[in-house]
């Protein structure tokens, strides 16, 4: 299994900086970020249950499975899987590698 962490800024549309005609710079006004943790697996044998999903009180936001052509020796179907946990809200300054203006 591979754990993947991605970040998404929660932001407004880019706005022209002052004196746009001369500098042509834009400012992105961010108001937070989300950390999204996903688990990816190429040989998953079991699927998440309905109560594992956030709508029923579980910890997962989404899951995607694709059956493979082969099965295991025990005649169990194997899946490519991606399971995404509920995003964690955070300050945009805490995103690794981000550059933010005061």
| Structural domain harbouring 97 | 1-10+33-102
Rg (alpha carbons) of the chain, rounded to whole number: 20
Split into its structural domains, the chain has a count of 1
**pLDDT of 102 above 60:** no
**pLDDT of 1 above 60:** yes
Kindly state whether residue 15 falls inside one of the protein's structural domains: no
Kindly state whether residue 91 falls inside one of the protein's structural domains: yes
Cα-Cα-Cα-Cα dihedral sign, residues 60, 66, 68, 71: positive
Greater model confidence, 2 or 72: 2
Kindly state whether residue 25 falls inside one of the protein's structural domains: no
Cα-Cα-Cα-Cα dihedral sign, residues 36, 37, 43, 47: negative
pTM of the model: 0.73
Query: Residue 30 in contact with residue 13, Cβ under 8 Å?
Result: no
pLDDT of residue 73: 63
Kindly state whether residue 3 falls inside one of the protein's structural domains: yes
Distance of CA 70 to the CA centre of its chain: 29
**pLDDT of 26 above 80:** no
Q: What is the pLDDT of residues 6-19, one digit of tens each?
A: 998 887 787 777 76
């Amino acid at each position: 299994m591979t754990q993947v962490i991605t970040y998404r800024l929660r932001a407004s549309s880019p706005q022209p900086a002052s004196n746009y005609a001369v500098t042509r710079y834009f400012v992105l006004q961010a108001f937070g970020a989300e950390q999204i943790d996903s688990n990816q697996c190429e040989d998953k044998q079991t699927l998440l249950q309905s109560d594992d999903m956030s709508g029923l009180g579980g910890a997962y936001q989404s899951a995607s499975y694709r059956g493979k052509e082969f099965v295991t020796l025990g005649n169990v179907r194997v899946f490519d899987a991606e399971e995404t946990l509920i995003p964690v809200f955070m300050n945009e300054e805490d995103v690794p590698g981000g550059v933010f203006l005061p």
